[in-house]
Chains A and B, each alone.
Chain A
Amino acid sequence: MTEPEALLLPPDDGSWRLADYLRRGGYEAARKALTSMAPADVVSEVRRANLRGRGGAGFPAGVKWGFVPPAGPGPRYLCVNTDEGEPGTFKDRLILRRAPHALIEGLVITAFAVGVPKAFIYVRGEYARTAGRLEAALAEARAAGFIGPRVLGTDFSLDVVVHYGAGAYICGEETALLESLEGRRGLPRVKPPFPAAVGLFRAPTVVNNVETLAAVPGIIRRGADWFVGRGLPKDGGTRLFGVSGAVRRPGVYELPVGTPLRRIIEDHAGGPPEGRRIKAVVPGGLSAPVLRPEEIDLPMDYDSLAGAGSMLGSAGIVVIPDGAPMLDILHLTARFYAHESCGKCAPCRIGTAWMLKIVERLRRSGGRPADLDLILSLGEGIRGRTLCPLGDGAAQSVRAVVTKFREELEQAVAR
């Protein structure tokens, strides 16, 4: 981190405007791509960078772009997933506020690379006020010729539309997002076909997360090798690790992919407040199975977290302190998925509702320790039996709380 100008997130000092972004070398990458590179070269540079999707699934962005069929006569679209709603995740909000032009520049480069003339930015409805800066930045970019007709004087044109959701976590799932964008309930689609082949209005579509796109200008400007060098060979770059919960300095920390979880929590976020100890850590948003304190000496990259039976997800880290009853954590987890299940797949719709009912009974009275096994078996009934990852997220996060803190839960139930 010796080059502050290479950081994705500048300080929160009002330097989000175009003039400041240009002073930091902004839009040089877009100029380079549009005036000196072929679209296919842009795709292969990003593929070489091993930029893995920052939304949670971790699919390599360059590979995803490569699935879009070669330019044909019909329309094609780019959608920016700004439906940030995974509990414990607030990084995309900060990009909207502090670096909206990094997102816009990444959007321009990506649209050029996949030959898209029209892009939609799907922003969760609750971020409408926060996205005021994004809209202001888009107006600046339009006035300066970075989006709109004949971008930077080339033959490439790009129309960008900001679209606001209206309260539905599920719309962060890419096919639900497309359904929502088409004016329907956000119900995930059957995959395949994947959006790259059949997406928005049945046209080839790329859906990328905000942080993913914001990382693209750096790759084009400084090269794939530079990007890989900042992270891990198979998982390049830096990431915005959000840390909240029981730490002295909650916030977002931009660090190399692979930075150990314990170091992020203790060195960067200051560790738990005086007199508190870490009881559990959610490493990547609520859907990522919770870790016990002895499990947090892990490099924060997709493969390492998967190897530990959890998930890097959105890299939203939440530190749970001693003294926080795990029955409460179990309850809010079950409540979240029961509330957010879209209802399309029966195992998720019914399973999450029953998990919540059982947890509520455990909290009142009349619950039995054996109910914990019932919760686990409901989870097994959901896992792998749904169209989208929400069901798996519900099953695995609930399962981790129940199995890793079983003794405490049983004692709480017995009382």
Chain B
Amino acid sequence: MSFAPSPAALAEIERAIARYPRAAAALLPVLHVIQGESGFISKEAADWVADKLAVDPVRVREALSFYTMFRTAPGGRHTIRVCRNLSCHLAGAEDILGFIVERLGIRPGETTPDGAFTLTAVECLGNCDHAPCLQVDGLDHAPASRGSVAALIEELKGRD
């Protein structure tokens, strides 16, 4: 199996590399571009990146296993990140997380069988004055309530 990004992604990758004095420094931006297009970083994609940036393949895999935002297997079409650190905890984050777990029927780290949602429990998202907070596909949703989350899930389901 070989991997090739789309022409548009490749152009973006070339622009990213050009911004750094050394190609290897573009590792994170390049991985973001590929994950943005493919939804995850396959083994083939990782090797392609290593080749492109002229680094050892292991260095790409090290990064993939270190940075929590990258995934090496397909995820859901929507990703829900629920903060559960101090301020959100005090505002009922566990209840919100439990509610989402119940609604979607999956636990944090899992993806719904229909491929619609991936749920993750994360540390502070820096939105403490709007606790409890979460992000859906990187967009802030805060403060979250059972009602707002239920509506959000329905809206996302309708959008697909």
Contact = CB atoms under 8 A, between A and B. Distances in A.
Interface of A: 75, 84-90, 92-93, 118, 124-130, 161, 163-169, 180-186, 201, 242-246, 250-252, 282, 286, 316, 318, 320-321, 324, 328-329, 332-333, 336, 339-340, 342
A250 B63 contact: no
Contacts of A252: 129
B63 A89 contact: no
Interface of B: 19-22, 24-29, 31-32, 53, 55, 59, 62-63, 66-70, 81, 84-87, 89-91, 122-131, 135, 138-140
B67 to A, nearest CB: 4
A92 B21 CA distance: 27
B27 to A, nearest CB: 3
A165 B126 CA distance: 15
A183 B86 contact: no
B129 A125 contact: no
A382 to B, nearest CB: 19
Given A126-B138, A185-B62, A332 B128 contact: no
B91 to A, nearest CB: 8
Contacts, number: 144
B111 to A, nearest CB: 17
A168 B27 CA distance: 15
B20 A161 contact: yes
Contacts of A126: 69, 81, 122, 125-126, 135, 138
A87 B123 contact: yes
A164 B128 contact: no
A89 B131 contact: no
B131 A244 contact: yes
Given A90-B127, A185-B63, A186-B66, A129 B138 contact: yes
Nearest to B84: A332
A250 B129 CA distance: 5
A116 to B, nearest CB: 13
B49 to A, nearest CB: 10
B124 A183 contact: no
Given A167-B68, A318-B128, A129 B32 contact: no
A324 B89 CA distance: 10
A320 B70 contact: no
A334 B60 CA distance: 29
A38 B55 CA distance: 41
Q: Which 6 A-B pairs have the closest CB atoms?
A: A183-B27, A167-B68, A166-B67, A244-B128, A167-B69, A87-B124
A241 to B, nearest CB: 11
5 contacts: A87-B85, A129-B139, A130-B140, A166-B28, A167-B69
Contact of B24 (A90, A164, A183, A342): A183
B28 A165 contact: yes
B144 to A, nearest CB: 15
B131 A163 contact: no
A88 B124 contact: yes
Given A129-B140, A250-B130, 19 more contacts: A86-B124, A87-B128, A88-B124, A126-B81, A129-B138, A166-B31, A166-B32, A168-B68, A182-B25, A183-B27, A185-B62, A201-B21, A201-B22, A201-B25, A244-B128, A244-B131, A250-B87, A318-B87, A342-B66
